[in-house]
Amino acid sequence: MYLPDNLKRYPPAPFLLLLCVSLILLPHLVRIPLWLSFLTFGILIWRGLHDLGRVRLPGRFVRYGIILFGIAGLLFHYHSLIGRQAGTSLLLLLTAMKLMELQSRRDAYVMLFLCYFVVILGFLFSQSIPMTVYMVVLLLALLTTQIFYSHPNASEASWRQLLPHGRLAGRIILQASPLALALFILFPRVTGPLWAMPDEAYSSRTGLSDKMSPGGISRLRNDNSVAFRVKFAGDPPGANQLYWRGIILWRFDGKTWDAPEDHRYYQKDSLIPVAAGGPALDYTVTLEPHEQRWLFLLDTPAVIPENAYLTLERQLLTPKPVDKLLRYRASSYLNYRYEKDVDWRESPRYLALPARVAPKTHNLISTLRARHSTDRELVRAVLRYFYDNPFYYSRTPPLLFDDPVDEFLFETRSGFCEHYASSFTVMMRLAGIPARVVVGYQGGEMNPLSDYMIVRQSDAHAWSEVWLADYGWMRIDPTSVIPPGRIENSDDLRRRQPETRIARELLQQPWILKAYKQARFALDAINNRWNQWVVGFNQKRQTELFGALGYPDIHWRELATLLGLAVTVILLALSWRLFRMPLQKKDPLLQAYDRFCKRLAAVGLEKALSETPAQFAQRVKKHRQDLSHDVDVITRLYQRLRYGRTVSATLMRRLLEQVQQFKPQRHVT
Amino acid sequence: MDSEVITEARPLLDRLTDQVGEVILGKEQPIRLALACLLARGHLLIEDLPGVGKTTLAHALAGSLGLQFNRIQFTSDLLPADILGVSIFDQASGLFVFHPGPVFAQLVLADEINRATPKTQSALLEAMEERQVTVEGETRPLPEPFFVIATQNPAYQIGTFPLPESQLDRFLMRVQLGYPDSEAERTLLNGIDRRRMLPQLTPVISPTHLARLQDSVDKVHAAPAILDYLQAILDFSRQSPDIAHGLSPRAGLALLHAARAWALMAGRDHVLPDDVQTVLPAVVSHRLRAVDEGKTQGEVLARQLLQVPVP
Amino acid sequence: MAASQTSLLNLNLQRFFRGEGPQPAPHTTHRRNVYILPTRIGLIFGLLLLVMLIGAINYANSMGFLFTFLLGSISMVAILHTYQNLLRLEIHSGTVPAVFSGELTQLPVILDNPGRSNRLALEVRLAGEELPLLFDAGVGQTVVHLDLPTMKRGRHPLPRFVLASRFPLGLFRAWTHVHLNQTYLVYPAPATSSSLPLPSFHTLAGHGDQGRGADDFAGLRTYHHGDSPRHIHWKALARQQGMLTKQFGGDRSEELWLDWQQVPGEEIEMRLSILVRWIIEAEREDLAYGLRLPATEIKPSRGPAHRHQCLEALALF
């Protein structure tokens, strides 16, 4: 039929297109404003009803009105149209609106292309395995739809084409994947963005924050999501050394600890020298994006990871917030001492306290100070104070109001790491000992199915560092002195003995829980691999990969050459496969006889096309009496099978055997 | 198909061939072809120069098969009635009595058929085709089996009416005897006159037996591959730039029939491409006409057909 | 050297745009006569891929890379699929029915697909035409009829037509120029029916007309191809006596001679048109007619074959 470019010709395609658009919208629904979800689905339903012939599409004014309304709504919601969230929302709106003016085949293609674009935008939000699988399914659906749009005369029984077209789409994806993989591995990667990305002001990431006031970390106690994963070069250190230093908070306003940005203290490449009490421990951290700039390293870093800054507090910062999976190599001394440093007693930085803070505590410190002259003894005395008095470790401590330090130390005496770290630091400062709060993670569990450690959000912890004139900065974890009997939650108790935890759990728990735990570990191992090799695949990884293959320091030009080569080879292989189009499937009988003929042709006896099998056999026998028996048998069998009356599987088998064994040698004379 | 017919066919037919071959020396292939033609219920045209033994062959066949035999010598003044027979008023009974002509025989030798006028020729040919004779409104069946061997001198001889192609099509085969080879020639010269051996021939086979063999020809298996081959041959003949008219469907059927008969003679229950190739020249050469009329012989064209790929 | 290269380039370009000139049938598609280029949609897709790639680089988004590369690879695979969709086809043409000039005739395009897979969404159109004819070619033979408008009488070479396909993704279009060295015939257009009555044709022949009259029954003869069905002796056929034709005759039978000299007017085309009209009229009245042209003479007869013979003589005049 002759056809104009009219959508009526592609019966199932509009329906498939609607399905695709709905599927594409689905993962975005949680991210976009509610009203936009309703709007887009309203548009989908409208289009669907139109395709069924129920309603007409809106006129141009209505369409533009909806778009304007949507843009206004987005501006109101995001105050901007650029940026990841706002941009995606805008694109979703436009994609849905494009449905409203779908008229021609070209429109349909543009629509499909928009869909591809929205799919790829989705990866800005999540690159997890389930998301990827979902996107591949979507791709299959989109390709199938595209095939339908390219097959205009599918008018009759077009739904029956669904399976073959779907299969074709699947085949195309499969055929394309080796090429895509080659491109992925070999395409020269560049580091850093091509242009500055708009800052994301609307992050809803979980994790530590740059402020600490009671209640902040306890929120994370129940969050089992992964903060980062660590792969140690050697044996993992003991549990009491697993202090993952993150943020150092030094300013206290009476309730909240924080750390204002202080560029004066950035040091790019030199470290405050420490005296190591042993070799450095090498490890690699894969940090989940947390939208902040700090990195987590074991106390204390020996070298600065690439692209990181070191502050005066030996805190490591990245230049930009970590908004995607970040992998860095680090090295730490577990036993160390600071070399000679500034005398921090002269500076108010780690001593300042708001006026009239914690008067009762002040009194207590004065008493203790009177009894213990050295700083070291005072520290010990304060820790003993926590141990001797009935301090409890609780996840749900009573609320603190006016003066959290005094109230905690003398009234409630129940809290968690934040309370202890905060109070302890304040007490130190009151005693004239420079002190600061460290927030990070403590502990981590080894994945028994693999060789890396998982540190979860629930491992978040806070502790203190004090500066002793004869020692330098020293790590003090006041929470650790609380005896086990005063810890309310058994989980927390177990957390305190991480080294035995896993083994005991696996031994004591019922098998179903064990299986569950194992599955979780297995899943995490897969996720880790995925993160390491797919999501985290960057220039560094690429160089490493080729380094491991024996091509260290591979240049992008070599990569490009390799890429060109790989693409050519793959395309050639594919075209060979595709163009070697199978003609009518050959009868095994003919195949067998063909093989027989080919073997004879190889020794110089070629069967002419017009020769009958018998004539050919006659000719062969004349030239090669040695083959005469075999040739006779094969020819007779072939004749019986091909021209005879009965079909005999036995004869067939005999023929196949005979042909199999028939291996004529060249004449040796 | 009853295997016994097959198994007994071969020695029987071999014996027949041998016996006829004693009379017609060195001509095994034409004899076998003639037999195949007979088995396939077709008629045979022998085209050759006078004196190579056409008539003797017919005689020998008739004798060995035990068939009732009539010979008609065609001349230019021969009338249809001379062949078919006439009704003559019988004074005694007061009725017209039909006197059957020489065509009423199981084996008819139509000698030098191209000497008669087309009218007479067609009388015979129509009888061959229909296996019955209609004289004066009355239809009379011809005996069973009915086998015509017509001989024809090559067309360039003077005073002949060559058979038109449409008539030639009615002969299943055309064979040429050709001169005997030197060895046969010598034997021939040394020995007794072969024609004197004819009366001594004893039938090898009974007419009923012959009929049974003829029936079993139809049951010889032709595999799809063979039919493909036949079709390829027909297609080739129709597409060849050298051939004026391609082979007719009737020619295709004739080829199949002849190949079946040949397979039966070889004692096989199925046709091989070799059978087709063997009978092909005899079956098609008289049905093909070259584009450059007369210059290329049918035999040459038939040889072209042998170049068709065997599937 | 340079000149030969230029001419080689010209030749190749010409092949690219117009094919190789008339070739004997069948036109077999192979790698040297099937061309492929992206469609406009394909170019837009390429642009989209570029945007995606820049985005992936900018955000250093691995899955973005992977997905972009996958889409890119898919389009490359689509090239192969589209190309393959046209390869190894045998195209020939059936006979184009002769029509009167100005009428629409149909060019039967015969497609042999020796492969095992269907060739979907094939487009065929005459060179210069806009709208393609769309069809699927299953395994074996497929015949589609292209509308072929006729303009001038005479024997014309078969026009070039283009077989193309965008299947499966519409991103690329593969095509092949099919130019078969066959011809088709166009009769002259008949003059309008009212223009002229048939000439007075009752020419008395001096002898009988060999059974071609229509009045007196003269006997039976065997059926010849082309005999009018109304003269067949159906009863005989029913009695299984074969196809016999009743013969009519008589001395006063008529012969209609359509004579160039009889046609009024000077203009050649006009005179031809009038002759064509006469033939149509004579056919309608089931008359036997002959045609006499300055160089040719066709004996009176009737039937489709005869009609064609006369019209062909006029077409080629």
Distance CA B297, CA A101 (A): 75
User: Does residue C2 lie in a domain region?
Assistant: no
Active site residue A597: no
Which A residues, 207 through 246, put their C-beta within 8 Å of a C-beta on chain C? none
pLDDT tens by residue, A303-354: 878 778 777 777 888 888 887 888 888 888 888 877 766 777 888 888 888 8
DSSP run (H or E) holding A474: strand A472-476
Q: Does B155 touch chain A (CB under 8 A)?
A: no
Question: Which residues lie below 8 Å from residue A537, measured CB to CB, with a gap of 6+?
Answer: A184, A185, A189, C62, C65
User: Does residue C71 lie in a domain region?
Assistant: yes
Tell me: do C87 and C124 sit in the same domain: yes
Residue C84 structure tokens? 């393959």
Residue pair C116/A583 in contact (Cβ under 8 Å)? The answer is yes
User: Domain residues of chain B, as ranges?
Assistant: 1-181+206-217, 220-311
Lowest mean pLDDT among A211-215, A391-395, C112-116: A211-215
Query: How close is the nearest chain C Cα to the Cα of A184, in Å?
Result: 6
- Please give the pLDDT value at position B4: 66
- Where are the alpha helices (H) located in chain C, listed in sequence order? 2-18, 40-59, 62-86, 234-238, 268-284, 304-315
- Between A632 and B97, the higher pLDDT residue: A632
DSSP state of A280: P
Question: Which residues lie below 8 Å from residue C206, measured CB to CB, with a gap of 6+?
Answer: none
Give bridge partners of residue C109 from the DSSP assignment. C93, C144
A-chain residues near B309 (CB < 8 A): 609-610
- Please give the pLDDT value at position C39: 92
* Residue in A375, A417, A492, A597 annotated catalytic: A417
Q: How many CA atoms lie within 13 A of B30 on its CB side?
A: 28
Which A residues, 152 through 191, put their C-beta within 8 Å of a C-beta on chain C? 152-153, 165, 168, 172-173, 175-181, 183-184, 187, 189-191
Peptide bond preceding A58 in cis form (omega within 30 of 0): no
Contact A584 C116 (CB under 8 A): yes
Residue A222 structure tokens? 């129940």
Residue B289 structure tokens? 């006409």
Tell whether the torsion through CA atoms of A594, A596, A599 and A604 is positive or negative: negative
3-state SS of A123-189 is: CCCCCCHHHHHHHHHHHHHHHHHHHHHCCCCCCCCHHHHHHHHHHHHHHHHHHHHHHHHHHHHHCCC
Which A residues, 600 through 659, put their C-beta within 8 Å of a C-beta on chain C? none
DSSP run (H or E) holding A377: helix A375-388
Which of C54, C47, C174, C64 is closest to A113 using CA atoms? C47
Contact C48 A113 (CB under 8 A): yes
Q: Which of C51, C58, C69 sits opposite A194 (nearest CB)?
A: C58
A-chain residues near B307 (CB < 8 A): 610
Distance CA C309, CA C291 (A): 10
Distance CA C59, CA C5 (A): 48
Torsion of CA A545, A551, A552, A554, to 10 degrees: -90
- What's the maximum distance between 2 C-alpha atoms anywhere in chain C? 103
Contact C168 A168 (CB under 8 A): yes
First to last CA, chain A: 68
Helices (H) and strands (E) in chain A, counts: 21, 20
Residue pair B142/B104 in contact (Cβ under 8 Å)? The answer is yes
- Please give the pLDDT value at position C1: 43
Contact A583 C59 (CB under 8 A): no
Query: How close is the nearest chain B Cα to the Cα of A157, in Å?
Result: 35
In this prediction, residue B158 has a pLDDT band, given cuts at 50, 70 and 90, of: low
- Between C214 and A443, the higher pLDDT residue: A443
* Displacement of CA B184 from its chain's centroid (Å): 24
DSSP state of C112: E
Which A residues, 522 through 581, put their C-beta within 8 Å of a C-beta on chain C? 534-538, 567, 571, 574-575, 578-579, 581
User: Does residue C231 lie in a domain region?
Assistant: yes
Lowest mean pLDDT among A436-440, A576-580, B80-84: A576-580
A-chain residues near C73 (CB < 8 A): 176-180, 183
* Residue in A477, A492, A597, A630 annotated catalytic: A477
A-chain residues near B269 (CB < 8 A): 644-645
3-state SS of A588-646 is: HHHHHHHHHHHHHHHCCCCCCCCCCHHHHHHHHHHHCHHHHHHHHHHHHHHHHHHHCCC
In this prediction, residue A197 has a pLDDT band, given cuts at 50, 70 and 90, of: very low
Query: How close is the nearest chain A Cα to the Cα of C19, in Å?
Result: 22
Tell me: do C114 and C162 sit in the same domain: yes
Of 3.30.230.10, 3.40.50.300, 3.90.930.12, 1.10.10.10, the CATH number of B1-181+206-217 is 3.40.50.300
Lowest mean pLDDT among A227-241, B48-62, B258-272: B48-62
Q: Does B211 touch chain A (CB under 8 A)?
A: no
Distance CA B46, CA B30 (A): 9
- Please give the pLDDT value at position A153: 62
Chain C adjacent subunits, 3+ CB pairs under 8 A: A
At A594, the amino acid letter reads D
Tell me: do C103 and C171 sit in the same domain: yes
A-chain residues near B310 (CB < 8 A): 609-613
- Please give the pLDDT value at position C67: 93
For residues A251-274, average pLDDT? 68
Q: Say whether pLDDT at A422 is over 50.
A: yes
At A400, the amino acid letter reads L
In this prediction, residue A216 has a pLDDT band, given cuts at 50, 70 and 90, of: low
Tell me: do C199 and C137 sit in the same domain: no
Residue that the structure tokens 């050697």 belong to: A234
At B36, the amino acid letter reads A
Q: Most A CBs within 10 Å: which of C40, C41, C57, C166, as the mutation test of the A interface?
A: C41
* Residue in A403, A459, A461, A492 annotated catalytic: A461
Tell me: do C99 and C86 sit in the same domain: yes
Which C residues, 27 through 86, put their C-beta within 8 Å of a C-beta on chain A? 40-41, 44-45, 48, 51-52, 54-74, 76-78, 80-81, 84
Which of C165, C155, C185 is closest to C78 using CA atoms? C165
Tell me: do C192 and C238 sit in the same domain: no
Q: Say whether pLDDT at A154 is over 80.
A: no
Chains C and A touch, contact meaning at least 3 pairs of CB atoms under 8 angstroms apart = yes
For residues A130-148, average pLDDT? 91
Residue that the structure tokens 């093989």 belong to: A595
For residues B273-293, average pLDDT? 83
- Please give the pLDDT value at position A241: 82
- Please give the pLDDT value at position C223: 66
Per the structure, the count of domains in chain C is 3
Q: What are the φ/ψ torsions at residue A616 (nearest 5 degrees)?
A: -60, -45
Residue B138 structure tokens? 């009355």
Q: What are the φ/ψ torsions at residue A359 (nearest 5 degrees)?
A: -60, -40
Which of A410, A427, A439, A387 is closest to A213 using CA atoms? A439
Residue that the structure tokens 């004090």 belong to: A466
- Please give the pLDDT value at position C78: 92
At A249, the amino acid letter reads L
Which C residues, 86 through 125, put their C-beta within 8 Å of a C-beta on chain A? 87-88, 114-117, 120-121
Q: What are the φ/ψ torsions at residue C216 (nearest 5 degrees)?
A: -95, 130
Residue A379 structure tokens? 């520290």
Tell me: do C170 and C156 sit in the same domain: yes
User: Domain residues of chain A, as ranges?
Assistant: 7-155, 211-506, 588-661
- Please give the pLDDT value at position C194: 55
Cβ count near A82 (within 10 Å):
11
Q: Does A195 touch chain C (CB under 8 A)?
A: yes
Distance CA C287, CA C279 (A): 9
Chain B adjacent subunits, 3+ CB pairs under 8 A: A
- Please give the pLDDT value at position A144: 92
Angle at B220 between CA B105 and CA B60, to 5 degrees: 35
For residues A521-538, average pLDDT? 80
Contact A643 B277 (CB under 8 A): no
CATH 1.10.8.80 assigned to domain B220-311? The reply is: yes
Residue pair C172/C39 in contact (Cβ under 8 Å)? The answer is yes
Query: How close is the nearest chain A Cα to the Cα of C168, in Å?
Result: 5
Residue A429 structure tokens? 């400062």
Residue pair C146/A2 in contact (Cβ under 8 Å)? The answer is no
Q: Say whether pLDDT at A625 is over 50.
A: yes
- Please give the pLDDT value at position C74: 95
pLDDT tens by residue, B89-121: 777 777 777 888 888 888 888 888 888 888 888
R_g (Cα) of chain A, nearest Å: 37
**pTM for the complete prediction?**
0.57
Question: Which residues lie below 8 Å from residue C242, measured CB to CB, with a gap of 6+?
Answer: C222, C223, C236
Residue pair A252/A211 in contact (Cβ under 8 Å)? The answer is no
Tell me: do C93 and C176 sit in the same domain: yes
Which B residues, 216 through 245, put their C-beta within 8 Å of a C-beta on chain A? 221, 223, 225-226
pLDDT digit string (tens) for chain C, length 317 residues: 444 555 656 666 777 777 777 777 678 888 788 899 999 999 999 999 999 998 888 877 888 999 999 999 999 999 999 998 888 888 888 778 888 988 888 888 888 887 778 888 898 988 888 788 888 888 777 888 888 888 888 888 888 889 999 988 999 999 999 888 888 889 998 887 655 566 654 444 444 444 444 444 555 666 666 566 666 666 666 666 666 666 554 434 456 788 888 787 778 888 888 888 888 888 877 778 888 888 888 888 777 778 888 888 888 87
Q: Which of A611, A615, A645 sits opposite B221 (nearest CB)?
A: A645
Lowest mean pLDDT among A52-61, A660-669, C257-266: A660-669
In this prediction, residue A4 has a pLDDT band, given cuts at 50, 70 and 90, of: very low
Contact B226 A643 (CB under 8 A): yes
For residues B28-50, average pLDDT? 86
Q: Which of A3, A178, A194 sits opposite C57 (nearest CB)?
A: A194
For residues A47-66, average pLDDT? 85
Tell me: do C132 and C265 sit in the same domain: no
Cβ count near C12 (within 10 Å):
10
Tell whether the torsion through CA atoms of A257, A262, A265 and A270 is positive or negative: positive
- Between A464 and A302, the higher pLDDT residue: A464
Q: Which of C48, C69, C114 sits opposite A116 (nearest CB)?
A: C48
Q: DSSP letters of A386-407?
A: HHHTT-EE-SSPPP--S-HHHI
Contact C69 A184 (CB under 8 A): yes
Residue of chain A nearest C173, judged by CA positions: A150
Domain containing residue C223: 219-251
User: Does residue C212 lie in a domain region?
Assistant: no
Contact B270 A614 (CB under 8 A): no
In this prediction, residue A490 has a pLDDT band, given cuts at 50, 70 and 90, of: low
Residue pair A226/A524 in contact (Cβ under 8 Å)? The answer is yes
- What's the helix, strand, coil split of chain C in %, to 5? 30, 30, 35
R_g (Cα) of chain B, nearest Å: 20
First to last CA, chain B: 25
Active site residue A115: no
Residue of chain C nearest A124, judged by CA positions: C61
Q: How many CA atoms lie within 13 A of A145 on its CB side?
A: 25
Percent of chain A with pLDDT over 70: 84
Chain A adjacent subunits, 3+ CB pairs under 8 A: B, C
Question: Which residues lie below 8 Å from residue B110, measured CB to CB, with a gap of 6+?
Answer: B72, B74, B124, B148, B149, B150, B151
Residue that the structure tokens 């070298």 belong to: A303
Q: How many CA atoms lie within 13 A of C246 on its CB side?
A: 15
Q: Say whether pLDDT at A219 is over 70.
A: no
For residues A623-639, average pLDDT? 87
User: Does residue C199 lie in a domain region?
Assistant: yes
Average pLDDT of chain B is 81
Residue B27 structure tokens? 């001509």
Residue B291 structure tokens? 């584009």
At B167, the amino acid letter reads Q
DSSP state of A471: T
Residue pair C107/C96 in contact (Cβ under 8 Å)? The answer is yes
Contact C62 A150 (CB under 8 A): no
Distance CA A457, CA A246 (A): 13
R_g (Cα) of chain C, nearest Å: 30
- B53 Ramachandran zone, left/alpha/beta (phi>0; psi -120 to 50): left
Query: How close is the nearest chain A Cα to the Cα of C243, in Å?
Result: 40
Query: How close is the nearest chain C Cα to the Cα of A205, in Å?
Result: 18
- Please give the pLDDT value at position A3: 47
pLDDT tens by residue, A581-595: 555 556 778 888 888
A-chain residues near C166 (CB < 8 A): 150
Residue of chain C nearest A128, judged by CA positions: C63
